[in-house]
Amino acid sequence: MKTKSRLTFLASISILSIAATVFASDHSASSSVSPDAALAKLKEGNARYAGSTVSAGKPTAAKRAETAQVQHPFAVIVACADSRVLPELILDQNIGDLFVIRTAGNVMDDHGLGSVEYAIEHLGTRLVVVLGHERCGAVTAALASDSAPGHVQSLVRDIQPAIKATKGKAGDPLDLAIAENARLVAATIRKEADLGDLAKEVRVVSGVYDLDTGKVEWAKE
């Protein structure tokens, strides 16, 4: 090959590579982290957090710049609004890593389901984690009564299935209800999220965050 044509050939290859890279970063499915790999990353992150005195997943200007134009979060986290349960910190992740939905009691409504569907269909996310936590105030309220003033009633109402399912079981009633509530919300997402063909690529798991140790106990699916 003559030098000029060889250079032209190499230039064509580079352009093709760039085009392929641009396409890959634009196309959510091709850049997805598999659900198993995503869960492994979260488990490693939580172990880093629980095993150190400070979370290493601090937001940085570099990370902000890297994610300013496009996001590919590798997990959806459905967590409680509790001020002590910060998914990015307790799972040691950074800007752009997690697509987080938070309500008191980590309950799911149409807005939440729409958010889950958006992350899976448009951002390429393939893992959904429902994260309950120890001493959850919303579950405590639901355990105390099936009615509450104002819109708190909607939270207490949606947690009742977990209270009923664990009633009379051996163990601490609040701990049992918290784990069951996270498990039932995960089941609701599996059943009600409208994911079409993507459903078979998606994994939905649940876990409970321990406020004392900083560790997440992952439920068996």
The residue ranges that bind Zn ion (CB under 5 A) are 80, 82, 136
Tokens of 62: 């570099």
Minimum CB separation of residue 17 from Zn ion in Å reads: 48
d(CA 114, CA 120): 10
Rounded to the nearest whole angstrom, what is the least distance from the CB of residue 106 to Zn ion in the complex? Answer: 7
Tokens of 190: 């599996």
CB of 197 to Zn ion, least distance (A): 34
Residue closer to Zn ion (CB basis): 96 or 137: 137
DSSP β-ladder status, 203-209 and 216-218: antiparallel
Residues 6+ apart with CB under 8 A from 78: 101, 102, 106, 108, 112, 116, 128, 129, 130, 131, 185, 189
Decide whether 82 or 158 has the Cβ nearer to Zn ion.
82
Q: Are 135 and 85 in contact (CB under 8 A)?
A: no
Say what the alpha-carbon torsion angle 98, 129, 146, 153 is, to the nearest 10 degrees. Answer: 20
Residue 120 or 189: which CB sits closer to Zn ion? 189
Q: Which is nearer to Zn ion, 100 or 136 (CB)?
A: 136
Tell me whether residue 24 or residue 81 sits nearer to Zn ion (CB atom): 81
CB of 218 to Zn ion, least distance (A): 18
| Total residues belonging to the chain | 221
Query: Least distance from C-beta 103 to Zn ion, angstroms?
Result: 9
